[in-house]
Amino acid sequence: MKSAFVSIIGRPSAGKSTLLNKICGEKVSIVSPVPQTTRNKIRGIITRDTGQLVFIDTPGYHNSDKKFNNYLKDLAGSSLAESDLVLYVIDTTRAPGAEEEELLELLKPIAAKTLILFNKTDLPEKNIQRAAAYIEEKAPGCFSPESIFPVSAESGDGISRVIQHLYDMAPEGEQMYPDDYYTDQQPEFRVMEIIREKAINISRQELPHSIYVEIADMEMKHNEDGSVKKLWVRAFLVAERESQKGILVGHGGENIKNIRGDAQRELNQIFPYRVHLDLRVKVNQKWRRNDGLLKRMLF
């Protein structure tokens, strides 16, 4: 049996989480058009007759002097040491940036266990030649053409070849999770992430970076016969400033109503029981400078 941890690494918005979801065939990691959506190392699992691959989605690798961003960057970097194999995802619609060069430096010594994915090939503005030339310029001779795959994480094009290649490369080992697991995330974390995704997708500009979700209470309600009736959740969307709280609430409470509705709908699809969500908005000033909170939140 084959068994491997596979890190998914790349710049913000390269399509890492979209890729993980496509590979697993389930919503494992939240996705948005806003860079730096993923804040944790998120595991997605596939199991076949030949073995098990455990993928680790990571926060977008991004240079910044902000404490919060550095936590995210360290998380992404640390996943490399924990992995047998690496998928380096590049958005071929964007010109390579400084992070690309830094990532290549990290990946050069482990090029033999790394596959490079040229993503978003479904878009007309893709530029595969530019990406290939950049790799050859910054890491000459390090990555063979056989380790580079044009894909579309969105449509799934090219993904099955990548998975097959990973199975070929994976070492022998014991299965780490039961056959039917596609993620190891706790329900509480998944609830927080889905709420955050819905909030990011209705809000704009820098607001997404200013919010987090806090679960105030979570309780499983049972029927008289002991069967599960529903999961009852009270959660807070936490913003950094009063003005942001206003945006999240929206005119006449319209935004928070939509976020709650969208999140509850998706949670009801994900969990095998009904979920009832009570969602409110509050402010925690300067939370991104709070080391204790960041350490608990970013793992």
| Residue ranges that bind Mg ion, judged by CB under 5 A | 16-17, 37-38
CA angle 222, 224, 226 (to 5 degrees): 55
> What's the Cα-to-Cα distance from 233 to each of 80, 98, 147, 279, 284, rounded to whole Å?
35, 42, 45, 8, 20
From the list Mg ion, ligand GTP, none, partner contacted by residue 15 (C-beta under 5 to 8 A by kind): ligand GTP
Distances in Å between the Cα of 188 and the Cα atoms of 191, 231, 272 are 5, 11, 14
Q: Which range, of 28-36, 215-223, 231-239, 249-257, touches ligand GTP by CB under 6 A?
A: 28-36
Selected binder of ligand GTP within 4, 6, 9, 14 (CB under 6 A):
14
User: Which of 27, 41, 43, 120: binder of ligand GTP (CB under 6 A)?
Assistant: 120
Q: Which is nearer to ligand GTP, 32 or 210 (CB)?
A: 32
C-alpha count within 13 angstroms, C-beta hemisphere, residue 136: 9
Query: Among 35-43, 106-114, 235-243, 247-255, which window interacts with ligand GTP (CB under 6 A)?
Result: 35-43
The phi and psi torsions of 268 (rounded to 5 degrees) equal -70, -25
Using CB under 6 A as the binding rule, whether residue 75 contacts ligand GTP is answered as: no
> Is 201 near ligand GTP (CB under 6 A)?
no
Q: Which two tokens stand for residue 84?
A: 């047998």
CA atoms within 13 A on the CB side of 190: 20
Binding region for ligand GTP (CB under 6 A) out of 11-19, 220-228, 240-248, 277-285: 11-19
Q: According to CB under 6 A, which one of 4, 6, 13, 103 is a site residue for ligand GTP?
A: 13
| SS3 state at 23 | helix
DSSP class per residue in 241-254: SHHHHHHHH-GGGH
Q: Binding segment for ligand GTP among 25-33, 186-194, 213-221, 273-281 (CB under 6 A)?
A: 25-33
Nearest Cα neighbor of 267 from 208, 218, 194 is 194
Shortest Å distance, C-beta 155 to ligand GTP: 7
Cα 278 versus chain centre, distance: 25
Select from ligand GTP, Mg ion, none the partner in contact with residue 153, using the beta carbon and a kind-dependent cut-off of 5 to 8 Å.
Answer: ligand GTP
Binding-site member from 44, 51, 60, 96 for ligand GTP (CB under 6 A): 60
Q: Which of 7, 38, 201, 255 binds ligand GTP (CB under 6 A)?
A: 38
By three-state DSSP, how is residue 119 classified? strand
Diameter of the chain measured on Cα atoms: 67
Site residues, ligand GTP (CB under 6 A) = 10, 12-18, 31-33, 35-38, 59-60, 119-120, 122-123, 152-154
